[in-house]
A and B are shown apart, each in its own frame.
Chain A
């Protein structure tokens, strides 16, 4: 019986300890000079610029690395120099010369407590690394470059084939981020994934897998010492946890939900930042697959889709309508008004859709199986389309897979139509990756993302790429888009903007208008109010 009383008192003690532990804590994080940002992701895949594609990866790289050039912080419409002091493009557009800034020091690393100076040798090494499929995800693009070191601070980069805006591949974006040869070789590729060495305003201090990366200010940053002491990047794939954490002041800024109700809710308790340019959500019909080989079926489904309804779902704040694959703010883009003038708007019209289906031999519609990712931005829209098409008798059976599997599957050509959300730097890349026959998934010469198996604009794409007169070039790009819509190949729905919520302590140091890589940038100007 003694034992029993002992047990009971132990239980009471246990609860008491928990309670006291609970009450003695002050809620919320300490008000230190550390910015805490939470990403919609379970972890970073890699902080190596050659090996990344998640938003969280690029947001981290943006703090750690620099490019030769950069998009002006918070504004992609302006390209300015970064590591390069200045640069020249040759008259024929087939070579670029970069002149490096002198005295750019890297983060300290093993054996080099003061870091090392960046030279053109590093730039050349970067290009080589980016060309190797073993070390880079972007090898097919960088294959086109060849580096020639002139001196320690001057490097000439030649193109093998003509390219539209080749300098874009040397900006602070993906493969454009510069790593240091010596550091990469010293610490090894593997460790470089999680403790990379760059020249940016922040250096990786500690990486805790599945939890966070702690970045400390890089005192010798060439633009000056950052105002923040450190940045903690937390991986919190659960929107709820992020939201709670923000409300309780445990974090300062979080990746939000790209949806109107959430935005409105959060506007009441925090500052919501919505910025572009965003990603284009579009459907690509697979013309090699029955019944989508029938133009009337494709057009019918375009009529059956209400862009307005899709937009209402996402919400006015988070999305803008898109009527053509190249957005109007990009060279060669078309606005909805332009499309309307051409009469290619495919304005929602169920009767017309039914009529077209009947003409095509499907008066009662048909059933179709479709694979979709579980990622909400895709799934939400796909489920809405599922509900819309049901009204014309087209039943979509959805197989939901995780996002990585989705990318595998769509490249195996499983889908009769494919939803894709992305941004590309220019019209040439958009068009050639999605509609050039070389890029056809599985069977193409260099398979990329031509899910529609469309082959009829190859000539036009090449013609535009080789056109040196930029007005004529844009005209050809517009011509391609018109043809795509006429043939009912691609149905652009909307541009999905980026949503972050934050507290009022943050002063970014610049205005976040449009960021290409889809995250709130944090740099040396960023500070926290006390």
Chain B
């Protein structure tokens, strides 16, 4: 297990490095001029040149790259090209919002999806199974922004049950949670569908396994067979794809943040994209990729913990 973990952790380092380089290259190759974006319609040529120099955009690409890596190593993500705010500060503000949203959606997805997946698997080919399958198919087909808009329209505009704006007051937990409900639902219900489908098919696979038959032949009660033997085994493939689902979740959260006007990485990214703020843009992308890499690492380690074949492998 320790060997496995170390190997797994070491593997992320080159992965991260490549991701960083890729982000750097992509963003630098982008058209549009940050200096122009910053100076706006009154820009003069001298002004533009001076600003480019000030921002280090006139340096050769390799030098910019080395600076970029060096700064990252020191935990310095640079300052926004537009307002000079250190990117780290901006990320520190928005990251918790994105995390609270994506994690709570994931938790909701697991807490609803797993039991529903088990239930439909056990009622295979009955009406509960059919309706569950159709609903979950709709769930994985509906774009998160559309679900968000529908929830917003029904619960905020029509029924006036939930707020529409932002993420709630800082330090007021109740308010934060209150603002989190609809966005979490719009992401979490989609996650629920994914996890439910996965759990169902995994459970069906496991129920056909020999060891389930063995367990039955021992005279164990149905529930014990299902939950102690089948369920725990069915959970392993589900856990192994949670990392992938989290990445999907992370991607969808961008649209959700826009729809609900919530602060967060996604909102920051879209803004930076529009303003050609390369420093912020590349930092946000790096954070997204890093998040995804670490979530995958985390999931793999958990996976190692629950599967003895890896733990004692």
Complex Cα spacing A401 to B227, Å: 55
Contact A44 B83 (CB under 8 A): yes
| CB under 8 Å from chain A, chain B span 205-240 | 223-224, 226-228, 231-232
- Residues in chain A within 8 A of chain B (CB atoms): 1-4, 7-8, 10-11, 14, 17-18, 21-22, 24-25, 27, 42-46, 51-54, 133-134, 136-140, 174, 189-191, 193-194, 207-211, 236-238, 241, 244-245, 248, 250-251, 401-405, 407-408, 411, 422, 446-449
| CB under 8 Å from chain A, chain B span 80-98 | 80, 82-85, 89-90, 93-94
Complex Cα spacing A190 to B31, Å: 26
Contact A422 B41 (CB under 8 A): yes
Number of A-B contacts (CB under 8 A): 188
Q: Point out the residues of chain A lying under 8 angstroms from B54, CB to CB.
A: 134
Kindly report which residue of chain A lies nearest to residue B225, judged by CB atoms: A1
Kindly report which residue of chain B lies nearest to residue A442, judged by CB atoms: B45
Complex Cα spacing A512 to B268, Å: 33
For this complex, 21 residue pairs linking A to B, each with C-beta atoms less than 8 Å apart, are A3-B232, A14-B107, A21-B181, A24-B178, A43-B83, A134-B51, A139-B47, A193-B83, A193-B84, A208-B263, A209-B90, A210-B268, A241-B261, A245-B165, A250-B164, A250-B165, A251-B165, A402-B32, A402-B273, A402-B274, A407-B41
Contact of B261 among A45, A189, A236, A401 (CB under 8 A): A236
| A304, chain B: closest CB distance, angstroms | 28
Contact B163 A250 (CB under 8 A): yes
Complex Cα spacing A432 to B86, Å: 39
Complex Cα spacing A483 to B169, Å: 59
| B42, chain A: closest CB distance, angstroms | 5
Contact A405 B84 (CB under 8 A): no
B14-22, B112-120, B130-138 - interface stretch: B112-120
Count of chain B residues with Cβ under 8 Å from any Cβ of A? 73
Contact B223 A1 (CB under 8 A): yes
B111 at the interface (CB under 8 A from A): yes
Contact B258 A408 (CB under 8 A): no
Complex Cα spacing A402 to B108, Å: 36
Complex Cα spacing A54 to B31, Å: 22
B308 at the interface (CB under 8 A from A): no
Contact B115 A17 (CB under 8 A): no
Q: Point out the residues of chain A lying under 8 angstroms from B90, CB to CB.
A: 209-210
B150 at the interface (CB under 8 A from A): no
| B167, chain A: closest CB distance, angstroms | 9
Q: Point out the residues of chain B lying under 8 angstroms from A244, CB to CB.
A: 152, 156-157, 164-165
Contact A10 B111 (CB under 8 A): yes
Complex Cα spacing A189 to B268, Å: 23
| CB under 8 Å from chain A, chain B span 246-296 | 258-261, 263, 267-268, 270-271, 273-276
Known: A1-B228, A137-B47. A14 touches B261 (CB 8 A): no
Q: Point out the residues of chain A lying under 8 angstroms from B40, CB to CB.
A: 45, 52-54, 137, 407
| B24, chain A: closest CB distance, angstroms | 21
Q: Point out the residues of chain A lying under 8 angstroms from B111, CB to CB.
A: 7, 10-11, 14
Kindly report which residue of chain B lies nearest to residue A236, judged by CB atoms: B261
Contact B181 A46 (CB under 8 A): no
Q: Point out the residues of chain A lying under 8 angstroms from B276, CB to CB.
A: 402, 404-405
Q: Point out the residues of chain A lying under 8 angstroms from B99, CB to CB.
A: none
| CB under 8 Å from chain A, chain B span 133-169 | 152, 156-157, 160-166
Contact A11 B115 (CB under 8 A): yes
Q: Point out the residues of chain B lying under 8 angstroms from A134, CB to CB.
A: 47, 50-51, 54
Contact B177 A1 (CB under 8 A): no
| A313, chain B: closest CB distance, angstroms | 24
Complex Cα spacing A48 to B40, Å: 14
Contact A407 B36 (CB under 8 A): yes
Contact A133 B82 (CB under 8 A): no
B60 at the interface (CB under 8 A from A): no
Contact A25 B82 (CB under 8 A): no
Kindly report which residue of chain B lies nearest to residue A30, judged by CB atoms: B169
Q: Point out the residues of chain B lying under 8 angstroms from A241, CB to CB.
A: 164-165, 260-261
